[in-house]
Structure 1
């Protein structure tokens, strides 16, 4: 299952992304954790030392390699240079599974807290003033578009803060979106904006109340987000320690917060997997981007990249494996 963590800056979405990743990995489940936030803090929240983080190849700096890998033998894509962040997979594309030893994870992933960690990468000095961060996040969008995740496999993505996630179609790539909200007017304001943008795309949004002190805080959240409120995490010495750079053993997490994480996993496992809609939305956003900018930027017929007889899912992954 593909899971996004979104919310306003400072809501605790990175901390909860790391905590949920640790919760899944501690149960022996295969987990991929991706830092797709402009502030690259997920690795630190997972307890990875700075020198090891510096050695992880940033996805945003290897777009040419990534495109060549994913293009495979797809006859509809003339070259990697003609691929953009929305280019959909088709027959002949190199599809990915969630295993730690696939080509992508071996190149760009590193172990972290029992999971496979990948980083989009920060702005470099050459990017400042001339590049958009979404060009780097495009590597994650390509990854998600080409990934066939199976039952009991999890991909956790720490997204950019606020409604910035809507700068691409990546917000439709997830089975569940956890929106982390503090019990404040600003905290719930991001939910209203996100829900409005996502409404017509069938995006499943579940609000996770964070930094909740008491029943009054929970009631405030419920008043403003209604049935979207899924579960609340209480103020936590464990989480405060994480935010200060310490990494207590997961066994020390407070019981009520352990139950909240378990509920979140149950919610993810219960979410329906709709590969037909996934494929349809991939194609839709590719057409939009082609018309808006991408066809002109590449000089290629990007509509021709769409394979009308192709649908993502387990059958497509099996065919991709046979072709390799």
Structure 2
């Protein structure tokens, strides 16, 4: 299943992402973690030192490899150069699985050892000085969107994405790629402002959205969040000495995280699993096509000089069954 963590800057979404990833690893679940934030901090939150985190390969720097691999033998995509971030898979495309080995993971993912297991970590790469004034950060997350569009994930597999702060995630169709979006909110007016934006944008696309209260100090904070977001408040995490130590670079073993907070992480996992159980693969594919056609008309056709609507395979529905019958994988 695919899970996103969003929230305003400083809400603690990267910290919550890292705690959830550690929790999944402790439960022996296969995990791919993706740092898609403009400020790349997930690696450090997972225990890498600054040089190790800075050395993570940038997905955007391997876009040509990603396109060539995913294109496979799809006859509707005439060249890798004609692929854009929303190009959907079809018959002949190569699809990704969480636990497999493939050239994309070899080039773009690194294994990170945690206390109770290991995960694969991928990163979009930071917004560099050369990008200033001439590039949009959303072009960098295009590689993530392509991979998510071609990834067939199972019920006991997890892709956890630390998204860019605020409501910027809605600048692409990637916000529809997730079975559950956890919005991390502090118990303040600013803390819940991003929730209102997300709720408004997401409701037309059936996006599953739950609020995770963070930096909660007492019942008054919980009551405030409940008054502001209603039943969308899933759980509230209390102050954590373990997290404080982690942020100082001196974490204890994860098993020593406070029991109440450990239970809260299990609540998140249960909610994600419940949402995945109701995934509609046909609608999931239709949404992918919807945003591809919009991007093709607004800028893709002009940029590539091709009619990108022709890339849509009308009979193709992404699902685990595609892999079972071998319909999408080239030899």
- TM-score normalised per structure 1: 0.97
The answer on 1:305 being equivalent to 2:311 is yes
The answer on 1:291 being equivalent to 2:309 is no
Partner Cα separation in structure 2 for residue 86 and residue 44 of structure 1 = 30
| Corresponding position of 2:66 | 66
The answer on 1:158 being equivalent to 2:162 is yes
Residue 102 of structure 1 deviates from its aligned partner by 3.1
| Corresponding position of 2:4 | 4
| Corresponding position of 2:85 | 85
Residue 100 of structure 1 deviates from its aligned partner by 4.7
The answer on 1:134 being equivalent to 2:138 is yes
The answer on 1:246 being equivalent to 2:250 is yes
| Corresponding position of 2:56 | 56
Residue 323 of structure 1 deviates from its aligned partner by 3.2
Stretch of structure 1 that moved more, 298-307 or 246-255: 246-255
Partner Cα separation in structure 1 for residue 56 and residue 224 of structure 2 = 41
Matched-pair contact (CA < 8 Å) for 1:33–1:157 = yes
| Corresponding position of 2:198 | 194
| Corresponding position of 1:323 | 330
Partner Cα separation in structure 1 for residue 320 and residue 86 of structure 2 = 21
Residue 56 of structure 1 deviates from its aligned partner by 2.4
Matched-pair contact (CA < 8 Å) for 1:233–1:257 = yes
Residue 315 of structure 1 deviates from its aligned partner by 1.7
Partner Cα separation in structure 1 for residue 3 and residue 329 of structure 2 = 28
Partner Cα separation in structure 2 for residue 61 and residue 127 of structure 1 = 13
Residue 177 of structure 1 deviates from its aligned partner by 0.2
Partner Cα separation in structure 1 for residue 247 and residue 283 of structure 2 = 38
Residue 48 of structure 1 deviates from its aligned partner by 1.3
Matched-pair contact (CA < 8 Å) for 2:73–2:330 = no
Partner Cα separation in structure 1 for residue 317 and residue 189 of structure 2 = 42
| Corresponding position of 1:208 | 212
- TM-score normalised per structure 2: 0.95
Total equivalences in the alignment: 324
Alignment partner of 1:245: what SS? coil
List gaps (5 residues or longer) in structure 2. Answer: none
Alignment partner of 1:126: what SS? helix
| Corresponding position of 2:37 | 37
Residue 129 of structure 1 deviates from its aligned partner by 1.7
Alignment partner of 1:48: what SS? coil
Moved over 6 A (4+): none
Change (3 A) 1:125 1:70: same
Residue 269 of structure 1 deviates from its aligned partner by 1.1
Which digits, 9 at most, give the CA deviation of each residue in 1:235-263, with x for residues without a partner? 11111222233332111111110110011
List gaps (5 residues or longer) in structure 1. Answer: none
Which digits, 9 at most, give the CA deviation of each residue in 1:54-76, with x for residues without a partner? 33221011111111111111000
Cα RMSD after superposing both structures? 1.2
Partner Cα separation in structure 1 for residue 101 and residue 64 of structure 2 = 21
